[in-house]
Amino acid sequence: MSRRLVRSRRLPSVIDAIGNTPLLRLERVARSAPGVEVYVKLEFANPGGSVKDRPALRIIKDAIADGRLTEDRILIDATSGNTGVAYSLVGTALGYRVQLVMPANVTKARKDITQAFGTELVYSDPMEGSDGAIKIVQKLVAEEPDRYFYADQYSNPSNPLAHYHGTGVEILDALGDRITHFVAGLGTSGTVMGTTRRLHEHTRPVHCVAVEPAEALHGLEGLKHMESSIVPAIFDPSVPDEILRVGTEDGWDMADRVAAEEGLHVGHSTGANIFAAVQLAERLSQEGRGGCVVTVACDRGDRYFAPMKWERRYTW
């Protein structure tokens, strides 16, 4: 089946629109690296608008398959971001209730998107950040273990598996032996862990680079500065071949550049991914090696209209 037909197929459920995202060549922002191709996988084309639709679907399907999630249980997790939207979308489509715990001070937009799906929100102490939200989930689950399925994206192996069986396979399907490098940011680390494991199994070597914020206090939402964070259980530092650190300003500026030059309005973690991919491409070009670098567009820029740009130093 041609790629055109794959994109225009008829679907029985919204969950069948998850995955098979397009791969776009970046011509303009990568022109500083002649001889090297740079591609970005457009994960914002998933129906929930982000890369997190993949792990949410796999987490829910795997839990249904082995009986951890049943119709009388509520899926619960601590998230105010893209994963919350993804759980809400997949949960609704498959007929399961979703409850999210988030700090009371998250933006109205974030509360509104998830509530639009019928998701119940529980608010935690804004002074305790995301750790406070996690503590409340753990307390609720401990009090009524039979009532909940705790999805726990940071520890759930279904998260990287979604990328092992999805993102990695799709990249190889699109590019085959052409791909030489893969670059993606570390949040839960699911994207890097799963995709890298699949690309490392390819018959030709693929050098896989993890992107981390350069500073502990950063404005690259979705990414984690591992040294100063609670390290996700699914993160294995021996999996990526290299770690590149990207500053908040560089990520934000690249997000502005790809909007202005490529017509692609992306979030700041995507700006950081593309900044690192272009830096790597320039290195290869200067060494006269050529290559094909693939990175990921995690979500769209309109998810960040609040807080506004003047809050660039906001810490997530």
Ligand X SMILES: Cc1ncc(COP(=O)(O)O)c(C=O)c1O
Q: Rule CB under 6 A: is residue 196 a binding residue for ligand X?
A: no
Site for ligand X (CB under 6 A): which residue of 19, 132, 168, 222?
A: 222
Site for ligand X (CB under 6 A): which residue of 83, 99, 156, 196?
A: 83
Shortest separation between residue 99's beta carbon and ligand X, angstroms: 18
Q: Which residue, 73 or 198, is less far from ligand X as judged by CB?
A: 198
CA of residue 75 relative to chain centroid, distance: 20
The neighbour count for residue 258, using CB atoms within 10 Å, is 23
Residue nearest to ligand X (CB): 222
Question: 195 near 167, Cβ under 8 Å?
Answer: yes
Site for ligand X (CB under 6 A): which residue of 185, 219, 271, 291?
A: 185
Question: 159 near 58, Cβ under 8 Å?
Answer: yes
Question: 298 near 82, Cβ under 8 Å?
Answer: yes
Q: Which stretch binds ligand X (CB under 6 A): 50-58, 85-93, 254-262, 279-287?
A: 50-58
Beta strands 36-42 and 23-25: pairing type?
Answer: antiparallel
β strands within 88-173, DSSP E: 97-103, 120-124, 148-150
Residue 222: left if φ>0, alpha if ψ -120 to 50, beta else—which one? Answer: left
The contact mask relative to ligand X for 63-82 (x = CB under 6 A, - = no) is ------------------xx
What part of residues 156-175 is at the interface with ligand X (CB under 6 A)?
Answer: none
The contact mask relative to ligand X for 104-123 (x = CB under 6 A, - = no) is --------------------
144-147, Cβ contacts within 8 angstroms, sequence gap of 24 or more: 146/73, 147/73, 147/74
User: By rule CB under 6 A, what count of residues binds ligand X?
Assistant: 20
Shortest separation between residue 64's beta carbon and ligand X, angstroms: 21
The neighbour count for residue 25, using CB atoms within 10 Å, is 11
Q: Rule CB under 6 A: is residue 88 a binding residue for ligand X?
A: no
The closest of 309, 304, 315, 310 to 109, measured between CA atoms, is: 304
Q: Rule CB under 6 A: is residue 188 a binding residue for ligand X?
A: yes
What part of residues 227-286 is at the interface with ligand X (CB under 6 A)?
Answer: 267, 269
Q: Rule CB under 6 A: is residue 299 a binding residue for ligand X?
A: yes
Shortest separation between residue 37's beta carbon and ligand X, angstroms: 23
Residues that bind ligand X (CB under 6 A): 50-52, 81-83, 185-191, 221-223, 267, 269, 298-299
